[in-house]
């Protein structure tokens, strides 16, 4: 199949090496006794990184946002932890619209 996106390329060696090197260990969350009664009433957020292998665009950190009611998950890529505040503000503004 021909790649219709000239700017997009695939390097299987890079992908496999990235998957192997990017494995991270993390602690699990404790069980919560609180549950939201409607969407966006309670959000869970977690930042993890730095990832040992940087993404193609230089992202090393990830902000994960989970809506407690719907269990919908957003994953925001970040190049540094300093982007966290602006991502959260932007996310809240988008959800309020």
Return the pLDDT at 33. 76
Task: Write the pLDDT tens digit of every residue in 1-49.
Answer: 454 555 555 555 555 555 555 555 666 667 767 788 899 999 999 999 9
Instruction: Collect contacts of 52-58 with beta carbons under 8 A, ≥24 apart.
Output: 52/21, 52/22, 52/24, 53/17, 53/18, 53/21, 53/22
Strands (E), the chain: 43-48, 61-67, 73-78
List, in order of start, the domains of the chain with CATH numbers. Answer: 38-97 (3.30.420.10)
Q: What is the pLDDT of residue 17?
A: 52
Instruction: Give mean pLDDT, residues 75-86.
Output: 95
């Amino acid at each position: 199949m021909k790649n219709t996106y000239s700017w997009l390329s695939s390097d299987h060696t890079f992908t496999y090496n990235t998957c192997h090197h990017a494995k991270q260990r993390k602690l699990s969350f404790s069980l919560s006794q609180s549950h939201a009664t409607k969407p966006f009433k309670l959000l869970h957020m977690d930042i993890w990184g730095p990832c040992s292998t940087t993404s193609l665009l230089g992202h090393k950190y990830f902000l994960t946002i989970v809506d407690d009611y719907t269990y919908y998950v957003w994953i925001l890529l970040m190049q540094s932890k300093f982007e966290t505040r602006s991502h959260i503000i932007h996310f809240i503004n988008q959800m309020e619209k």
